[in-house]
Structure 1
């Protein structure tokens, strides 16, 4: 007998790593949902209704109860649907997973963003140094595990999806070499495992479209800086 998931709506945008976190989690857990694809430059009235505070994706609506912010949504999904757990049962390990997920959002992603998109050379170099430091912390935390969650994809892996898929395309476009097998062999091996997982692979944006978006954005930034 199929599980009763209630009514689940998901508002996302194809190129958003934050929305993709949620979409992959929904697929891993086999949750049926209605997908609303948003144009981030022309947001729908429904999105603004369900997320009036931040006015952005992702948004999950379960039985007409909306939730925003990807990490919050992931924890809600995990607590509501118990199959394919994203968080470990052990309290310390659960707290640790939350810590590293927040570290990725608060420290790692801003550093990578600064390294890639900052026009000022000194600030960009600062971003590169901060990125290396953040990636080294993740390399050490991963240790010899297949995924941050052990043998299966968990909360931290989903939080780090940007590093696995978006970052390699971005660094190719802007001429950086942050994540590589030489610099971070464990993290690089993890990234390959993650993006080639069957569920993940089916729920990532097309590489050519994302790369084109990065190239257009980078060209615009460099042109405006002259």
Structure 2
């Protein structure tokens, strides 16, 4: 059977993209071997299985590599049919993919801009980030999760914001997660982080804050071309 056989996940503990794949595997109850990568000294296997960009996550299923976290989650959902992640309804599936794309195209860039910006650039960057959060807040109005009562594809993809956005606020000394401005989005964060599969598969917060402090310092100290 296609769903049988060996499953391995090449990852890095602090990576939100890796965690979302782990959440999907855990939701499905799929047994897998986790292989931690040192991104500064990538293994031969990582380079072999992802020669395109040499990044994590990489899912290895029966010796065949799948790369890019969103693609991996859809693959997992197609191969292991139980506990579906994407909705069956075509319109709802399209909307789930839309918000996943919105996360990757808009939210990640907006958070990154604020995380590294300083002075006037930061003020403008925060306004842009708040616009993306406003859109998410409006979509979540009256809902526990993006798909309703249970977490699904959009929640897994946007799940990095539930944990790593708060980490980013602490590391870079800014604040956007205001329950008064974004009541539905902040409520979603609370609901998402209470789900056992999510709560039990988050990196240690202190260690994550320390890691991103170092990451930010290195970025700001790097010479600009």
Same fold? TM cut 0.5: yes
Instruction: Return the offset for 1:222.
Output: 5.2
Instruction: Return the offset for 1:22.
Output: 0.1
State the Cα deviation string for residues 130-170 of structure 1 (Å, max 9, x = none): 11111111111111111112111111111111210011121
Aligned to 2:166: 168
State the Cα deviation string for residues 166-202 of structure 1 (Å, max 9, x = none): 1112102211111221221111011111112111111
Q: Distance in 1 between matches of 2:184 and 2:151?
A: 16
SS in 2 for 1:160: helix
Map 1:1-226 to 2 at 5 A: 5-119=4-118, 121-221=119-219
Query: Do 1:195 and 1:201's aligned partners in 2 also have CA atoms closer than 8 Å?
Result: yes
* TM-score of the superposed pair, with normalisation by structure 2: 0.93
Q: Distance in 2 between matches of 1:4 and 1:76?
A: 11
State the Cα deviation string for residues 70-94 of structure 1 (Å, max 9, x = none): 0000111111111111111100110
Instruction: Return the offset for 1:4.
Output: 5.7
Q: Distance in 1 between matches of 2:107 and 2:25?
A: 25
SS in 2 for 1:106: helix
SS in 2 for 1:35: strand
The alpha-carbon distance between structure 1 residues 215 and 96, as it changes in their structure 2 partners (threshold 3 A), is same
SS in 1 for 2:188: helix
Query: Do 1:9 and 1:33's aligned partners in 2 also have CA atoms closer than 8 Å?
Result: yes
SS in 2 for 1:67: strand
Structure 1's unaligned 5+ residue stretches are: none
- Measured on the aligned residues, the alpha-carbon RMSD in Å equals 1.7
Q: Distance in 2 between matches of 1:10 and 1:209?
A: 21
SS in 1 for 2:145: coil
Instruction: Return the offset for 1:210.
Output: 0.3
SS in 1 for 2:130: helix
Structure 2's unaligned 5+ residue stretches are: none
Q: Distance in 1 between matches of 2:51 and 2:177?
A: 36
Query: Do 1:86 and 1:149's aligned partners in 2 also have CA atoms closer than 8 Å?
Result: no
Q: Distance in 1 between matches of 2:214 and 2:8?
A: 31
Instruction: Return the offset for 1:54.
Output: 1.1
